[in-house]
A and B are shown apart, each in its own frame.
Chain A
């Protein structure tokens, strides 16, 4: 199958990725060939098979829902590119 340029742009938009024109055409070609390859899964009849959600054991334990000592706020905030008074600063959402 072959993806169209519009499909590539739509996926990039969903994934919040700015792509150059060069990247778009390269990904169009590469993703098309990967999708061609994975179509081999369609040859299997899986109507009676359930989806694996993972490989978790049934005995996966839950812990008691009590709070633990938190990490220091300063440790968490210091990695942000922009903060104000212990809050994350972001560009405007609305014009």
Chain B
């Protein structure tokens, strides 16, 4: 074993394990050491499961040596021995799943999410559950009942959210891969803030079974990695039809990773003028434009396009997502799971359990959603929002008649300071202005680093694609990363 194993790509880890350069145990211990060293400053995890991970690593080592003896090393599953982390909004059987909330108490998941089971079947080793905004409602990981996660690039700043723990864990090289979820930007925005690659696939691409529901028509599971090629490998394993989720699509899953290399000379990249509005940090504008020029120099055709209803995505989202949340979170009633605050009658118990169990942002969104769905207001708010959602979907359909992918910023600013948006929910919601449209339209989006600002904070670019065409996104990101080094930049920790 030589060098720092936490700096390797998944592909280098796979090769090293197969060549016998290091063992799964050594690989795991290097990551656990890194977690021990940095966790006090980053707080990426809610739960660590070191002992079960060690057991799994030993088991994987045994499988490697058996396969070596039998000459069957090529038959081993792709992720055997690779450490991963899972957002604490996704279930893993027999592990506590907190959703970043107090209302669930010590809830132990009775089943494993389908996509996580597929990773486990591929040999991945779970080291822990990562921090999240409470029920994924937030853009900074500050609404977690377990306290905030801090950005590895500057620990006075947020990592973004809601999958901030997963993004920070990958950025800090605590794990090479972490799984997150994205309802309005919760993978792409923290990926941008932490300088890593984050894929939010098409709605229905990955089963939502085991992903605790927030906004069911918007929720997607996805992954954080250091490159598009690694994200492609992960999606290929996680994606596909699942009978446990009726909204998972019966759509063939390409071998994204095998098909990653492609000539992008005929790729048509649309640049939507509505995504370069006033109020965007100037370094983000210039850095994105430079990245687009890189694509032009690689032979892509750059086309200016319009997504005219972009500015309505934020109000649409903040009616539809809270409306769905208000229904989904009705299940936290203190009866079947979670904590119970009891003062007398059943109805009092509901009020107390929910009033005390949920944090301020979750209560705010439940209130907003309840109002939007309530008698007399439905047509004006929820109904109108669903109609405008149709217009936003149509914007994308028209744009994708002309272009293959859409390139734009992920966020209007780089990572902000912990506490900066304090008690101003609208300011926090505006962080998601460029990521919400993909969820509303159900299209895939990928965020990846394209530079640093003057304060040495990562800047991300987003590519959005046609529904179920993640393959082109991965190819475009891979082509960029083959010709640049931004994805290899590391925070000084």
- On A, residues with C-beta under 8 Å from B are 8, 11-12, 14-19, 23, 26-27, 30-31, 33-35, 37-38, 40-42, 44, 46, 49-57, 59-63, 71-72, 75-76, 78-82, 88, 90-93, 95
Contact = CB atoms under 8 A, between A and B. Distances in A.
Contacts of A57: 204, 249, 251, 467
B384 A46 contact: yes
Contacts of B107: 79
Given A27-B367, A93-B346, A80 B391 contact: no
Contacts of B384: 41-42, 44, 46
B111 interface: yes
B249 A59 contact: yes
6 contacts: A37-B315, A44-B388, A50-B387, A57-B251, A71-B110, A81-B340
Contact of B355 (A18, A34, A93): A18
Interface in B318-350: 318-319, 326, 330, 333-340, 342, 344-350
Nearest to B393: A52
Nearest to A57: B249
B459 interface: no
A18 B358 CA distance: 10
Contacts, number: 176
Contact of A33 (B204, B246, B426, B441): B426
Given A41-B384, A41-B385, A30 B247 contact: no
A18 B347 CA distance: 11
Interface of A is mostly: loop
Contacts of A71: 110-111
Nearest to B246: A60
Given A51-B383, A81-B340, A76 B110 contact: yes
A49 B425 contact: no
A11 B108 contact: no
Contacts of B471: none
B356 interface: yes
Contacts of A62: 246
A91 B426 contact: no
B340 A41 contact: no
A81 B316 CA distance: 37
Interface string B170-210: 00000000000000000000000000000000011000000
B366 interface: yes
Interface string B347-370: 111111011101010011011101
B334 A46 contact: no
Nearest to B377: A35
A76 B318 CA distance: 33
The interface centre, meaning the residue of A17, A26, A53, A60 with most chain B CB atoms within 10 A of its CB, is A17
A59 B249 CA distance: 7
Closest 4 CB pairs of A and B: A55-B442, A18-B355, A51-B386, A54-B217
Interface in B115-132: none
Contacts of B388: 41, 44, 46, 49
A34 B425 contact: yes
Given A37-B315, A44-B391, A52-B387, A72 B110 contact: yes
B241 interface: yes
Contact of B204 (A56, A82, A88): A56
Nearest to A71: B110
A54 B243 CA distance: 19
A53 B315 CA distance: 17
Nearest to A14: B370
A63 B366 contact: no
Given A54-B217, A76-B110, A92-B345, A60 B335 contact: no
B312 interface: yes
B255 interface: no
B420 interface: no
